[in-house]
Amino acid sequence: MTEEEKTQPTADEKPAAPPAEEPRIGIDEFAKVKMCVAQILEAEKVEGSRKLIKMKVDIGSETRQIIAGIAEAYEAAALVGKKIVMVANLKPAKLMGLESNGMLLAAIKDGKPVLATFNEDVPNGALLR
């Protein structure tokens, strides 16, 4: 058997399907998302929920309320003062009857959220690009 024949699938073997490629967006679509620096001014666990925390955040030009499902990974009091990344131009959403006016960004590690924060001091409201 030649080397080429060894690498070819036999009749009973099917070639492995190539991995599915993630859909990509264009720069115009990405430019629509307004991400900015937000500083958490107040935070409290949402009564009746094991995951939700209600926060008041300063985004430079205004103060907003956001609700996030991070209570299993963070104590509300420990969040106060942190600067996070927030999507500021989402339509408001209601979670457990509370209005959320933005979304914080977090990665998932071992099934728990890890907030996107900053190593250096950046002004509230600074845009991410």
Per the prediction, the chain carries an average pLDDT of 91
Question: How far is Cα 123 from Cα 38, in angstroms, rounded to an integer?
Answer: 9
Query: How much is the average pLDDT of 7-27?
Result: 73
**Helix count and strand count (H, E) for the chain:** 3, 9
Residue 97 to residues 40, 52, 58, 63: CA-CA distances in angstroms?
A: 21, 12, 22, 19
Is 73's pLDDT higher than 80? yes
Domain 26-115 = CATH 3.20.20.140 = no
* Domain ranges for the chain: 26-115
Q: What's the confidence (pLDDT) of residue 69?
A: 96
Question: How far is Cα 129 from Cα 126, in angstroms, rounded to an integer?
Answer: 10
Hey, what are 61's tokens? Answer: 């030009």
Is 18's pLDDT higher than 80? no
Question: How far is Cα 66 from Cα 76, in angstroms, rounded to an integer?
Answer: 13
Question: How far is Cα 127 from Cα 103, in angstroms, rounded to an integer?
Answer: 14
Q: What is the pLDDT of residues 19-33, one digit of tens each?
A: 788 899 999 999 999
Q: What's the whole-model pTM score? A: 0.81
